[in-house]
Amino acid sequence: MKSPLITALQLAALFVLFTGAVFVGRSLPLPQLAQAAPIEPAPPFRPLSAPSWHSCISIWEVASIEYPDPGRVQVMCSNELVPGVRVFAYKADDAAEANRILSLFNTSLVSGVPLELYWMSDDSTSWGCPPATCRMLEGAKLEVP
């Protein structure tokens, strides 16, 4: 059996601890609510010009370039699109799609089958391919004779 003195001391200790916890809790600053990051406005809409097809009659060069990130796969055609533009590049941020495009480039290079290149005429992004000599691709297909 516990003595009444030990029980009273335990109750007093519990009261002191509870009172201290309440006092400390009231003296601490209230937690601040998390602030959401401001929402960025959407870029202004600008309609794209119509997509174009360019027939690459024969291929001079096929390349896979890692720099700058994310890199690109590119093809150099024997015929120019406009004066000085012979290179077409595809952004390699989607590795599976870039590999499919590179496979079409290599098939055309080896077989001599002309390659149709699908590109947007007002796309000035380059991923390291200079816009004066290069155009960015949206897709490609082989012309079956």
pLDDT above 90 for 105: yes
The answer to whether residues 55 and 95 touch, using CB atoms and an 8 Å cutoff, is: no
29 domain residue, yes or no: no
Classify 19 as helix, strand or coil: helix
Interval 52-103: pLDDT, tens: 888 998 899 999 988 777 888 999 999 988 788 899 999 888 889 999 999 9
- What's the pLDDT score for residue 31? 66
37 domain residue, yes or no: no
Interval 110-141: pLDDT, tens: 998 999 999 876 666 667 788 788 888 888 99
- What's the pLDDT score for residue 43? 59
CATH number of the CATH domain containing 133: 2.40.50.50
The total number of structural domains that make up the chain: 1
109 domain residue, yes or no: yes
131 domain residue, yes or no: yes
123 domain residue, yes or no: yes
44 domain residue, yes or no: no
- What's the pLDDT score for residue 81? 81
pLDDT above 90 for 34: no
Q: Which of the four pLDDT bands, split at 50, 70 and 90, describes residue 5? A: confident
6 domain residue, yes or no: no
Distance CA 70, CA 122 (A): 21
Write the CA distances from 33 to 24, 39, 91, integer angstroms.
20, 18, 41
User: Could you tell me the pTM of the whole model?
Assistant: 0.62
Q: What domain range includes position 137?
A: 51-142
Instruction: Give yes or no for a cis peptide into 68 (omega within 30° of 0).
Output: yes
Torsion region of 15: left, alpha or beta (phi above 0 gives left; psi -120 to 50 gives alpha): alpha
- What's the pLDDT score for residue 30? 65
pLDDT above 60 for 48: no
16 domain residue, yes or no: no
